[in-house]
Amino acid sequence: MLTNNDLLVLGILLDRPMHGYELSQHVKAEGIPVWFDISTAAIYYSLNKLRREGLVSETQSGAHGEKTIYRTTEKGREQFFDKMEDVLASEEPVRFDYDLGILLLNRLPHERALGLLEERMAFLRERQATLDQLLERESSSGEALKAAILEHAASCTRVESRWLGSIVQHLRGGSDGRDGYGGLMRLSGDLHEFHLPNLIKLVASGKHSGRLSVSDGAHKRTISFREGGPVCATSERPEGEVQDPDRVLKDVYDLFRWQEGSFTLDQRMKPSEGCTVVTMSAYDLILAGARWVDNWSTIQQVVPSAETVFEHRDGPVAASALNLDALEEQVFKALDGLRDVSDVARACGITEFEASKTLYGLCTVGLVRPGDRGKIRLRRVFREFAELLCRATIPYREAPDDYTCEESVNERCSELPVRFVASRIEDQTDPALTAEELADIYRSFLLAQRAVVEERFGHDVADEFLQQVRSRIHPSLRTALVEHELISAD
């Protein structure tokens, strides 16, 4: 099927045969890239495609046949006319990729959005000037078709300039909304579809200013932000506005339990007169609100089951920058990239609900995330293999509490973020590492461990240990050993 690039190349070759570079220079000389997006690489791609499909033929020219001349075949001319009929009688609606940016404009901070639109306005002014100059030149030269195309491009640019100018005027505050763009920087929705912590993280990461209003019809709460940080809040109940600052904050935290209600984030709205001052960061606000969540339906949006494994992550804020309570710190430290929610609950001496609820909060502020299944299998098989190999040597040691073998491995792997503590593996690898990077670290550690075991107990005994350990690894994990080349396949 011919593309528009193919049509252009065929149409130019209808005039006369050309080689690729000549055709590319002709396109530039005619000013085609001003109104049609085609590159030199795209021209050569079309030439090769058209040649393969028999729409153009090629001959060699030059003293040594160094130039390939392309000419349109009869089949190519037929397809050119067929494609022209499709293009000129097209019922395809006009679309503008730029409109996608306008659809998502309210996700950006007001000033940032305004600055970007003004950059676009400057470009449109420059383009308008260029098109006007070209149009004047082509009109005087009698090139009617080129003039018609340039007039089309210039008209579209003028229309876009006027349209975008009215949006910029509104953002500058010089419009009363009668242009139809009232509430341009307002983001509205339903809590049932938009998780409140995600909304606040959007405000924080984008450094938005404005007022977030949330209502369930009877109650209304507002949080005002300045450059991404909360500055004050209000609470309205059926009996009237709440005046007690502590009660206002508790009402704001209670928002995180709401599953129904509507919200509006309006960047044009300033803080309400007499609102309660908020001194915490946006992420501490999310964490404080998450502590109020007490229903499974909300928690399971983030923690789907007790079998979910969480791992630390480099999020937008560090743990040290948040006001974690004792339980949150305990759960955070218990995560090792292998323990699931049930394991964490047992390790911390709490219920699965408490563990899930705490992980919900840690996850919503970006301190932890569900683990990558492939990396979890890799971590598990490495730990299991290293520890089983360690235990296999115990009968051959001078005493059960003789850890000189493990200490030797640690000495050889002192630069790796993995070590033995007694006979257990302590894995401090960066959660951001890829599976391949993890495998490199684990492979180095296991090679060092094997070398130590061979030196202490002999090659034959070491091989026997390896066979025993291999047979005790679960088959689903055993494949990961070979897949990541932690051990040989034999």
Please give the mean pLDDT across all residues of the chain: 90
DSSP state string for 86-128: HHHT--PPP--THHHHHHTGGGS-HHHHHHHHHHHHHHHHHHH
In this model, does residue 336 exceed pLDDT 90? no
pLDDT digits (tens, 9 = 90+) for 365-392: 999 999 888 888 888 889 999 999 988 8
Looking at residues 238-253, what average pLDDT do you find? 94
Cβ neighbours of 299 (radius 10 Å): 20
CB atoms within 10 A of CB 238: 7
Q: Given a cut of 70, is residue 232 above it in pLDDT?
A: yes
How many Cα atoms sit within 13 Å of 21 on the Cβ side? 3
pLDDT of residue 423: 86
Per-residue pLDDT, 62: 64
pLDDT band, residue 474 (cuts 50/70/90): confident
pLDDT at 396: 84
Distance CA 63, CA 7 (A): 31
- Which residue pairs, CB below 8 angstroms and at least 24 apart, start in 346-353? 352/306, 353/296
DSSP 312-343: E---SS-GGGS---HHHHHHHHH--SS-BHHH
R_g of the chain, CA atoms, integer Å: 34
Q: Which of 75-84, 109-118, 184-193 has the lowest mean pLDDT?
A: 184-193
Cross-strand bridge partners of residue 214: 221, 263
Closest among 35, 47, 45 to 145, alpha carbons compared = 35
Tell me what pLDDT residue 176 has: 53
pLDDT of residue 78: 94
Assess whether pLDDT exceeds 50 at residue 160.
yes
pLDDT of amino acid 180: 60
pLDDT value of residue 174: 67
The type of residue at 143 is E
Residue at 359: amino acid letter: L
How much of the chain exceeds pLDDT 90, in percent? 62
pLDDT above 70 for 178: no
pLDDT digits (tens, 9 = 90+) for 116-129: 999 999 999 999 99
Does pLDDT of 177 surpass 80? Answer: no
Closest CA to 467 of 442, 490, 444, 445: 490
Predicted structure pTM score: 0.68
Residue 405 has pLDDT above 50, yes or no: yes
The pLDDT, as a whole number, for residue 181 is 66
Q: Number of C-alpha atoms within 13 angstroms, CB side, residue 251?
A: 24
Which of 12-16, 288-292, 403-407 tops mean pLDDT?
288-292
Report the pLDDT value the prediction gives residue 361, as an integer from 0 to 100.
96
Q: Mean per-residue pLDDT for 100-126? A: 93
Average pLDDT value for residue range 91-116 = 90
